[in-house]
Amino acid sequence: MTLEPFGARLRRAMDERGPLCVGIDPHASLLSEWGLNDDVAGLERFSRTVVEAMADRVAVLKPQSAFFERFGSRGIAVLEKTVEEARAAGALVVMDAKRGDIGSTMAGYAEAFLHKDSPLFSDALTVSPYLGYGSLSPAIALARESGTGLFVLALTSNPEGGEVQHAVRADGRNVGETILAHLAAENTGEEPLGSFGAVVGATLGDLSSYDLAINGPLLAPGIGAQGATPADLPGVFGSAVRNVVPNVSRGVLRHGPDVVALRVSADRFAEEIRSAVDAA
């Protein structure tokens, strides 16, 4: 059975649970801070704890696939279980894998994360358009068919991103603007929210020169440890702020492994973000 479109499910989750995405980023230093070994057992304990603490209360959980992949097949098995348990508890899962390729290879990546029969089936997938936006066509088609979504890298917060995303095309638009325009076209007529979102860094400052009104979600990393605060969101995203999905990882995860402390931190961020959005 095809799911209700991702954009509609995301809008409802954000309205009911608050607009917050918490990353699941079990890198070595964070495992160590939690008193866990940097091995599969530590990975599993970390992931289960985050799901237990968060999946019944936050709108979105975002596992970073790389931190599971580094343990090979055993790590992927933990990722499969993490996705399954998070979705069963009510959170939407955005798989942060940033896949990008062409043709049948792009189709294979899409099937790995967006096909309903895949063990890694997620509600949405992060993808890279830098082999040309058209290279994402297989993932777009499968997302439409399966009721899932995509978050396309558009204006990222890493300093290296500018050399590609700010490059100016022959038509005078830069690459980031072009990606946003493609996404707006994908989401035309969708209600209450389209399923094809952009990744736009919350640390980028004033983005008023960009048209962020893509009728889709804006996944915004950078809140917390990277320096942005919930109060910054209206100034960065302007009138599109209600469609922003702020991502917090270390700002919440540093409070683990205590489940109560993790919950308190997530609830605080969600409330601060909601207040900032409502006041905009």
The structure tokens 């325009």 sit at 181
Is residue 187 assigned to a domain? Answer: no
The single-letter code of the amino acid at 11 is: R
> Quick one: pLDDT at residue 40?
98
Is residue 186 assigned to a domain? Answer: no
Which alpha helices (DSSP H) does 121-213 contain, by range? 137-146, 162-165, 175-186
Alpha-carbon span 174 to 154, nearest angstrom: 11
Q: What are phi and psi of 73, to 5 degrees?
A: -60, -35
CATH number, domain containing residue 81: 3.20.20.70
Is residue 94 assigned to a domain? Answer: yes
- Chunked into runs of 10 residues, the chain (280 residues) has average pLDDT values of 90 96 97 98 98 98 98 98 98 98 98 98 98 98 98 95 95 96 98 98 95 98 87 96 96 97 96 93
Burial group, residue 167, by CB count within 10 angstroms (0-12, 13-18, 19+): exposed
Is residue 185 assigned to a domain? Answer: no
- The catalytic site residues sit at 98
Is residue 253 assigned to a domain? Answer: yes
Could you tell me which of 162, 68, 71 has the C-alpha nearest to residue 112?
Answer: 68
Alpha-carbon span 249 to 61, nearest angstrom: 10
Query: Number of structural domains, the chain?
Result: 1
> Quick one: pLDDT at residue 1?
60
User: Domain range for residue 95?
Assistant: 6-178+192-279
Is residue 136 assigned to a domain? Answer: yes
Alpha-carbon span 263 to 49, nearest angstrom: 11
> Quick one: pLDDT at residue 225?
72
Is residue 184 assigned to a domain? Answer: no
The structure tokens 């970073």 sit at 64
> Quick one: pLDDT at residue 172?
95
Is residue 1 assigned to a domain? Answer: no
> Quick one: pLDDT at residue 42?
98
As beta bridge partners, residue 149 has 124
Alpha-carbon span 125 to 152, nearest angstrom: 9
User: Model pTM?
Assistant: 0.97
Tell me the HSE value of 241 on the side-chain side, using a 13 A CA sphere. Answer: 22
